[in-house]
Structure 1
Amino acid sequence: MSESKKTTDPKTDAGWDVGVRKTVTAPVTDVWTYLLGAGLPLWLGEITELPSKKGVRYRTEDGVRGTIRGYTEKKQVRLTWQPEDWPHDTTLELTLTKAGEGTTVGIHHEELADREERHMMVGHWHRVLDAIVAHFE
């Protein structure tokens, strides 16, 4: 797990961020298929399909909304992420990297408002990754 706080210089302050990653014993293709299919509600929210085209907006049934910022098949999804009860959006990146016979799943969440929000989200993303690992055990 890696965590960091960005600069507090008012001109460059982009908020707090958190990064977590875990390795599963499954190939990248299987993990990608799961995370963008049946496992999509686990990390993003209730939604039938995530758009893959940059600039396209999405909204989950749980009220999370955002815009696709980047999408590389079987490798990375970058999007804005804003729960309905948050006054600001954040940037979320999901990455997959081959790791021996398995796959490392990484989640990097940027532009969090403060230390409290960062603390809340690090716990959330660890629970999400634990559930992903459990799916492939």
Structure 2
Amino acid sequence: MTSSPETAHDQSAGDDDTQGGATEQQTGIRSSVTIPAPLAQVWQHLISSRGTEAWLGSGAVLGSKGESWHSQEGPHGVVRSYHPQEQIRVSWHADDNAPPTMVDLQLVPEGTATRLDLLHDGPDVRGSAEHQNRWDEALQRLARGLDT
């Protein structure tokens, strides 16, 4: 595809999340990208080894709910939620000494395109430009990988 993906991010706090009928306050790092491809194609890329490495890091392999994942760069965690073509949530430890945080990736169909909405939340994440850049770049890598 020749269209370039669009990326947006927001570090705002206090947004209401009403997915699944529950309302909860969420803060943290938010990043989004719209990929000019249908949901099923984006999902297959996201869970492929190439797609998983694009957003979680080199060597990361995404398993089923409850399974661990590890990146060669150091980040690691556990798959906490896995809903095909809808959502993946993983715990995220930047390294062995880092506190646990949570990364939630939602897939949203938008006509013939798909929007990926990522939220990374935890005490060491909020307001971090480093984390914001990391996720903006990760979603762009993921989107570009689908175009090749």
Query: Which TM class, normalised by the smaller chain length?
Result: 0.7 to 0.9
Change (3 A) 1:94 1:115: closer
Query: Structure 2 length normalisation: TM-score?
Result: 0.74
CA distance in 2, matches of 1:119, 1:36: 27
* 2:105 pairs with 1:97: no
Provide the residue aligned with 2:31 in structure 1. 20
Query: Structure 1 length normalisation: TM-score?
Result: 0.80
Query: What is the root-mean-square deviation of aligned Cα atoms in Å?
Result: 2.3
Change (3 A) 1:57 1:134: closer
What are the Cα deviations for residues 13-65 of structure 1, in whole angstroms up to 9, with x where unaligned? xx961111111100111111111112111110123631122x32222233221
What are the Cα deviations for residues 72-130 of structure 1, in whole angstroms up to 9, with x where unaligned? 011111110112265212100111110111000111100041656x2111111111222
Provide the residue aligned with 1:41 in structure 2. 53
SS at match of 1:5: coil
User: What are the equivalent positions in structure 2 for 1:1-137 lying under 5 Å apart?
Assistant: 1-5=9-13, 17-37=28-48, 38-47=50-59, 49-53=61-65, 55-84=66-95, 87-113=98-124, 118-137=128-147
How many percent of aligned residue pairs carry the same amino acid? 25
Query: Which amino acid counterpart does residue 52 of structure 2 have in structure 1?
Result: L
| Structure 1: runs of 5 or more not aligned | 7-14
